[in-house]
């Protein structure tokens, strides 16, 4: 079936470092969503992207909608300990009558103080 | 503003017992509703979604069922739980098909 792939699978970084992660698919997406999930909580929407090439920021987070519409990137600048969590990309997968949102496997981020 | 409520937060059930998890959304009408399951340290697997009352689509064959008796209520059920049903269950809503989904706090289910 259709899948989203995320890399890296996990990251261990020092506080203050910048973070980059990406999400790719063999299918074209019209919307890209980035979520963060902390342990024991539901995912929280960080950024939504709607147009190829779009670059959107939310505080220290910046995400881009790849020009091919098959990928997206999330960057976190000057990481802090509260950035720890799993970051998921997601997108609506077109079906015959309606879309459903599918998720990538996630990138686990650990920040070392 | 819209809110989503999901309960209980944690649940421990014996194998073979029934299950009922409830999710309600406030502050919107006719939302799309979703049930996802997340195994430990893994991604989210879509189980069911609903675009309206009584309209349920199942993504994977399994021991679970879903119902939508009211516009903003979504229920996940099982007649007899299996060990493999353990996991973190998340309810979500979206305003329109294919748009960003907003999640509840999740239910941690442990089948023993």
Q: CA–CA separation, B48 vs B64, rounded Å?
A: 9
Q: Is the pLDDT of residue A101 over 90?
A: no
Q: What percent of chain B has pLDDT over 90?
A: 74
Residue B41 in this model has a pLDDT that exceeds 80 = no
Question: Which residues does chain A have within 8 Å of residue B6's beta carbon, measured at their own beta carbons?
Answer: 42
The band of A107, judged by pLDDT with boundaries at 50, 70 and 90, is: very high
Contact list, A98 vs chain B (CB under 8 Å):
32, 51, 97-98
Neighbours of A69 (CB within 10 A): 18
Whether residue A94 has pLDDT greater than 70: no
Contacts of B8 in chain A (CB under 8 A): none
Burial of A91 (0-12, 13-18, 19+ CB in 10 A): buried
Say yes or no: A92 contacts chain B, CB-CB below 8 A: yes
CA–CA–CA angle B65, B55, A43 (5° rounding): 65
- Identify the residue with better confidence: A93 or B108: B108
Q: CA–CA separation, B106 vs A11, rounded Å? A: 25
Q: What is the pLDDT of residues B92-106, one digit of tens each?
A: 998 876 678 899 999
CB contact (8 A) between residue B102 and residue A105: no
Which whole number is the average pLDDT over A71-90? Answer: 96
Averaged over A62-82, what is the pLDDT? 96
Q: A22 CB contacts (<8 Å, ≥6 apart)? A: A6, A7, A71, A72, A73, A74
Q: How high does pLDDT run on average in chain B?
A: 91
State residue B99's pLDDT score.
75
Q: Which range is least confidently modeled, A16-25, A75-84, B16-25, B53-62?
A: B53-62
Which pLDDT band, with edges at 50, 70 and 90, does A102 fall under? confident
**For residue B32, what are its two tokens?**
């799309």
Distance CA B83, CA A42 (A): 22
Query: Choosing among B33, B34, B98, which should be mutated to test the A contact, i.e. which has the most A CBs within 10 A?
Result: B98
- Mean pLDDT taken over chain A: 91
Q: What is the mean pLDDT of residues A96-109?
A: 79
CB contact under 8 A, A88 and B34: no
CB contact under 8 A, B43 and A42: no
pLDDT given at position A97: 47
In this prediction, residue B5 carries a pLDDT of: 95
Residue B3 touches partner A, C-beta closer than 8 Å: no
Mean pLDDT, residues B8-18 taken together: 96
Q: Given an 8 Å threshold on Cβ–Cβ distance, is A103 in contact with B44?
A: yes
Joined together, the tokens standing for residue A5 give 């792939």
Distance between CA atoms of residues A42 and B86, nearest Å:
16
Q: Which residue of A has its CA nearest to B33?
A: A100
CA angle B101, A43, A17 (to 5 degrees): 125
Is 70 exceeded by the pLDDT of residue A2?
no
Whole-number Å distance between alpha carbons of A80 and A78 = 7
| Contact (CB<8Å) A41/B42 | no
| Pairing state between β A44-49 and A19-25 | unpaired
């Amino acid at each position: 079936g259709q899948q989203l792939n995320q890399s890296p699978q996990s990251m261990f970084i020092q506080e203050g470092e910048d973070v980059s992660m990406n999400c790719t698919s063999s299918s074209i997406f019209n919307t890209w969503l980035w979520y963060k999930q902390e342990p024991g909580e539901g995912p929280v929407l960080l950024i939504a992207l709607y147009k190829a090439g779009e670059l959107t920021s939310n505080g220290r987070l910046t995400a881009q909608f790849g020009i091919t519409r098959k990928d997206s990137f999330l960057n976190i600048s000057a990481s802090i300990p509260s950035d720890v969590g799993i970051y998921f990309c997601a997108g609506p997968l077109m079906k015959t009558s309606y879309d459903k949102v599918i998720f990538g496997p996630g990138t686990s981020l650990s920040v070392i103080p | 503003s819209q809110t989503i409520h999901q309960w209980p937060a944690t649940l421990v059930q014996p194998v073979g017992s029934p299950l009922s998890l409830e999710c309600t959304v406030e502050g919107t009408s006719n939302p799309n509703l979703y049930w996802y399951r997340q195994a430990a340290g893994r991604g989210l697997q879509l189980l069911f979604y609903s675009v309206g009352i009584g309209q349920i689509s199942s993504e994977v064959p399994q021991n679970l069922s879903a119902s939508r008796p009211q516009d903003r209520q979504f229920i996940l059920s099982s007649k007899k739980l299996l060990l493999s049903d353990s996991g973190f269950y998340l309810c979500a809503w979206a305003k329109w098909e294919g748009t960003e989904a907003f999640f509840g706090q999740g239910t941690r289910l442990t089948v023993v």
